[in-house]
Amino acid sequence: MFIDPFVIRSINRSELRKRILMYLDEIYPSPTYLSEIARVVKSDPSNVKGALVGLGNRYNGHSSLVSLGLVEVVTEGGFKYYRLTEYGKQVVGLLRSYHSYYSKYT
């Protein structure tokens, strides 16, 4: 499957986006809620929301994980949960392989 270079660039520009993706990959295929993600990645819930869906001027909506197609929003009983998509799973696999390759040289 083709992975858009813009997606990789967006993830590499944000350590928070990367940590969120890695966590969602660990619990895949289970969805989880915003405050749980924030607790695990040790970040403020508003920052996590910005990384997931965008938030005003500080977080570009075009680079959000949902807009990039890496995370989907699942609504159940009036609550929003977030889950890694199949495309997101493939991107995380690529990121992990890059990390193991480049860690040999650091």
Give the residue ranges of the chain where pLDDT is below 50: none
By the 8 A CB rule, do 74 and 81 touch? yes
Q: Is residue 105 a part of any domain in this protein?
A: no
CATH code for position 14? 1.10.10.10
- Output the pLDDT for position 62: 84
Identify the domain containing residue 79 by its residue range. Answer: 5-98
- Output the pLDDT for position 102: 59
Q: Is the dihedral of CA 55, 58, 61, 65 positive or negative?
A: negative
- Output the pLDDT for position 65: 96
Q: Which helix (H) or strand (E) holds 82?
A: strand 79-84
How many domains does the structure of the chain reveal? Answer: 1
Whose tokens are 């660990």? That residue is: 26
